[in-house]
Structure 1
């Protein structure tokens, strides 16, 4: 049987009812507080009176229809479902949950974190996390598993990858205590691989991506296989095994074409562009980045499109094609102006990138220097974005070297070098 106190508190706060509103004529305020915080066990009669005032039933039986509908909705949150269907199913379930306190309620509330993240409602996801913090002591093992996993999802969205990894590893440790399908385990392994990639833990990326892909292949889930191939391509590129990287990218692209999944195709094009940029082949890099930028389909996310645009700015700048670099800056500004969540980590990163190259292209030396040294580099350090720290440390070094300011240039070459050493020793 569920612990009723925390659920009464949850329903009361949802209805914006004070403790006084709920307790009046039934129990004292202090006694209600003890019930809600599990410091006393109230009689069934008092619990029933409180539930009556909340307008909910206390259900002791398992509603198989409700349980099945919840399961269907949970699965929607992992797949490429029409968001209108996800929202409609959520509203239907919420209506059912509002009428009773039952064993499905806690799992439903935990999955709301994932739901809000799917809808990119990051503030609502955080509010739900804060709300559920008071119920953690009521969680069983399966609740704890999803709680850690979805909180990890939240921190991934906000760019706090170390905290995300800590939570994912706790979830992984709980796998021997819970009964979940192998596809769920594969999904956890996949997101651990993604997070390791963000943290530049290359060998762990390869290990977890291969574990996940073993399951996805067995289940003929070609899109998830393609995503794993992309992660492997990124990892092999980082350790300079470029032939293996290209092989994995081409496998991912082939699977994307088989499934007619443009998102996978363009993600692969982006990463091929990055690979060729890394080995100094700007012509091929620009070709693959343009595939992403010029694609009109909505399946190309703003994040992927902006990443390709900012990489094109960098490539055009490097080959001194400043007119094209400025064209890409204008494209980037148009997209950034349409973004609603200005506090989003990725929006801030792209804004910094665009402004950095704007000052560099306009030869505004003082603005460039103060912006990159006083704002951009501290931002990258705060977010432990070592890859960009190396890149822009080198850019500053080259910038000052080209202007004969060798003392300044050495300082930033050293920053790039020390950051690179830190990166490979993570």
Structure 2
């Protein structure tokens, strides 16, 4: 009778029921306990009532008990395989490994917190690489919940680092930095370094850079590069160089920025990392535009656009198309600039992209003396961008003031200038 008792116990746990819940309305909790221990043999009537509560048949109670230990050991093995594959960037293999282990919600109840922490980190990573950032964030938070124990320090910091990265992708920069500061504190307390330390430093540098703290970002990224050098590794070397390039460009340190961008391209070529190469070329195109090397800007931006399109990353390609429009505008090629902007307006419904396109078209109309049309496009741009980019929307307010001034509407122009002055935004038509 022990076999029947074991099966009842298995089915009860699979249904997430306590002994008291199963016993209610049928027998006592003590009676259920004795059945599961194989001490007593229940009647058929009792088994029938228990089967209805467990949503099974009486015959299910007489099936051979499952080898739970073997099944759990198999799940653990698959989870670790998937973890290693995800860490090495073999995401398709990692996804197939998880699919093949046939682990469902009931099976997860058999796993300990460490295994569940690893499992949800892998699932988060697979969502992240599909750009499903909301899902990835939720999965990483579940992983952190399971890895709360002091025994799982490395795994916990890795998940914190991954969660911060997702926040950075969504421009939740302060939240990312808070998580990264906590992660770095844990690393220091436990005297941990290596590749995990590099990753935390890189994401911390990116967070500082996004918050405009470029000097702090350069310091953190430089520390990551020095650890790489000490280890004789090139872990995230392309990411480090690319991020340093962006910081130097923001500080108008253009030679240093170009050196870092070229260094990043070298590493991404070695890795055959096409999307990241395309992103660096986009940044390099912006650098060349800022230094008035318009032909070089257009050349690398065109390459970036083609690479993004080849990868099927159309939204990134649209961003590059806007960069091309800016470069053609500054090169005085108004026709090409307008064509690119009109393509953006046709191909996307994203307000940020549409707003930028309307601004450039407004600048083109202003340059040609068509101030009425310029004003129309500037206002459309401001309406589209205000919810997403306050700084840019005030820059466009400067353009609106200039258009009113050109039309002789001095009172409205003055009011617009006053709004800009109150918010201390620079006047610019470029």
Normalising to structure 1: TM-score of the pair?
A: 0.69
Question: For 1:120 and 1:45, how far apart are their aligned partners in 2?
Answer: 50
Work out whether residues 213 and 228 of structure 1, in 8 Å CA contact, stay in contact via their aligned partners in 2.
yes
Asked if residue 273 in structure 1 is aligned to residue 280 in structure 2, the reply is: no
Match of 1:101 among 98, 111, 114: 111
Could you say what secondary structure the match of 2:182 adopts?
Answer: helix
Asked if residue 112 in structure 1 is aligned to residue 115 in structure 2, the reply is: no
User: Over residues 284-322 of structure 1, what are the superposed CA-to-partner deviations in whole Å (9 max), with x where a residue is unaligned?
Assistant: 322221221234763484454233211112222344423
Asked if residue 253 in structure 1 is aligned to residue 265 in structure 2, the reply is: yes
Question: For 1:371 and 1:236, how far apart are their aligned partners in 2?
Answer: 33
Asked if residue 380 in structure 1 is aligned to residue 392 in structure 2, the reply is: no
Partner of 2:149: 140
User: Over residues 213-261 of structure 1, what are the superposed CA-to-partner deviations in whole Å (9 max), with x where a residue is unaligned?
Assistant: 2344455654721221111111112222222112222222233344444
Match of 2:334 among 303, 322, 328: 322
Could you say what secondary structure the match of 1:203 adopts?
Answer: helix
Partner of 1:349: 352
How many positions carry a matched residue from both structures? 370
Partner of 1:307: 319
Work out whether residues 214 and 250 of structure 2, in 8 Å CA contact, stay in contact via their aligned partners in 1.
yes
Give ranges in structure 1 of 5+ residues lacking alignment.
1-11, 29-42, 338-346, 421-426
Partner of 1:424: none
Partner of 1:284: 296
Asked if residue 410 in structure 1 is aligned to residue 407 in structure 2, the reply is: no
Distance 1:253 1:107, change over 3 A: closer
Higher relative contact order (CA 8 A, sep 6+): 1
Work out whether residues 173 and 211 of structure 2, in 8 Å CA contact, stay in contact via their aligned partners in 1.
yes
The 5 Å alignment of 1:60-99 reads 63=73, 67=76, 69-81=78-90, 83-93=91-101, 95=103, 99=107
Question: For 2:82 and 2:34, how far apart are their aligned partners in 1?
Answer: 32
Question: For 1:409 and 1:241, how far apart are their aligned partners in 2?
Answer: 33
Question: For 1:419 and 1:56, how far apart are their aligned partners in 2?
Answer: 72
Question: For 1:197 and 1:24, how far apart are their aligned partners in 2?
Answer: 55
Partner of 1:25: 22
Instruction: Provide the alpha-carbon RMSD of the alignment.
Output: 4.4
Could you say what secondary structure the match of 1:101 adopts?
Answer: coil
Asked if residue 121 in structure 1 is aligned to residue 132 in structure 2, the reply is: yes
For the pair shown, the structure with the greater C-alpha radius of gyration is: 2
User: Over residues 26-77 of structure 1, what are the superposed CA-to-partner deviations in whole Å (9 max), with x where a residue is unaligned?
Assistant: 579xxxxxxxxxxxxxx9999xx9xx969998769994x7556434433443
Question: For 1:367 and 1:263, how far apart are their aligned partners in 2?
Answer: 36
Partner of 1:423: none
Match of 1:207 among 212, 219, 225: 219
Work out whether residues 114 and 153 of structure 1, in 8 Å CA contact, stay in contact via their aligned partners in 2.
no
User: Over residues 385-414 of structure 1, what are the superposed CA-to-partner deviations in whole Å (9 max), with x where a residue is unaligned?
Assistant: x5x467646655655555555525634764
Give ranges in structure 2 of 5+ residues lacking alignment.
1-11, 26-32, 37-49, 56-64, 366-371
User: Over residues 133-192 of structure 1, what are the superposed CA-to-partner deviations in whole Å (9 max), with x where a residue is unaligned?
Assistant: 9x8387224365345333323322322212222222222222235586611221121111
Work out whether residues 74 and 111 of structure 1, in 8 Å CA contact, stay in contact via their aligned partners in 2.
yes
Question: For 1:22 and 1:419, how far apart are their aligned partners in 2?
Answer: 71
Question: For 1:178 and 1:106, how far apart are their aligned partners in 2?
Answer: 20
Work out whether residues 189 and 211 of structure 1, in 8 Å CA contact, stay in contact via their aligned partners in 2.
yes
Q: Which stretch shows the higher mean deviation, 164-173 or 352-361?
A: 352-361
Work out whether residues 149 and 171 of structure 1, in 8 Å CA contact, stay in contact via their aligned partners in 2.
yes
Work out whether residues 317 and 325 of structure 1, in 8 Å CA contact, stay in contact via their aligned partners in 2.
yes
